[in-house]
Amino acid sequence: MAIAKGTKFIVLFLLAFSALCFILSFVIWYLTSFFWHFIILGLIVIASSFLIWSFRNPERSVSIDINKILAPADGRIMEVEEKEGIIYCLIRMSPFDVHMTRSPIKGKVTKTAFKKGAHWPAYFPNYAKKNQRNKIEIIDEVGNINAVVTQISGIFARRTVAYVKGGDIIRQGEIIGTIRFGSLTSLEIKSDKKFKFKIGISDVVRAGKTVLAECD
């Protein structure tokens, strides 16, 4: 199973910690005949397995189309907004979603910006908009499209990580970052093209797979 970039040390630590707990449990059982601690061991193994699984990075085939905007994250659509020349949507990720962030368009990264903030739960999006965030700005000069992908932390998701930097050239659907343990991802598209949403509130989307909007 492929894992998110930068999480190898965490995964190795969790595996080592689970193995140590396993060994200690059998030592305690052997010396004292006390076996109830195996329940605690089971909970530790389950928790560690879930954390490792949350770092997964499955392969995805992406259909590239300059007239389509792809979802930047897995999750459920919480907000959509359309106005002249701008479309905006907000995606809430659950702990069970893949936590990789993908580029909705092809182009050049013009800027990444990290901003400190609060850690409100993602289930309160109005408050969560004040949370710590990582903003990734991308421009497709040929298609005349500007995209701003914002990774927003939550009560458990304390790390928003960008894998790209200003000047990088990226493909549509390429992985550009990750949010550990899920939270919110917003997308704002500015373009002279008239993009229309193909999704609505409460729809479930998949990063690099779901078409959020399409040019008329």
Contacts 24+ apart (CB under 8 A), 23-31: none
The proportion of the chain whose per-residue pLDDT surpasses 90, expressed as a percent, equals 38
Q: At residue 196, what are phi and psi to the nearest 5 degrees?
A: -125, 135
168 within domain boundaries: yes
113 within domain boundaries: yes
Q: Does residue 156 have a pLDDT over 70?
A: no
Radius of gyration from C-alpha coordinates of the chain? 20
Residues 63-116: tens digit of each pLDDT: 888 889 999 999 999 999 988 889 999 999 888 889 899 999 999 999 999 888
Residues 160-200: tens digit of each pLDDT: 888 999 999 999 999 999 987 768 899 999 998 888 899 99
Domain tally for the chain? 2
107 and 191 both lie in a single domain:
yes
Q: What is the pLDDT of residue 34?
A: 66
Domain residue limits at 105? 68-215
Catalytic site includes residue 183: yes
62 within domain boundaries: no
Q: Which helix (H) or strand (E) holds 28?
A: helix 8-32
Look at residues 94, 62, 69 and name the one whose alpha carbon lies nearest to residue 187.
69
35 and 120 both lie in a single domain:
no
Catalytic pick among 18, 183, 186, 191: 183
Q: Name beta bridge partners: 137.
A: 111, 148
92 and 197 both lie in a single domain:
yes
129 and 160 both lie in a single domain:
yes
50 and 120 both lie in a single domain:
no
What is the dihedral sign for C-alpha 146, 196, 114, 12? negative
186 within domain boundaries: yes
The proportion of the chain whose per-residue pLDDT surpasses 70, expressed as a percent, equals 91
203 and 105 both lie in a single domain:
yes
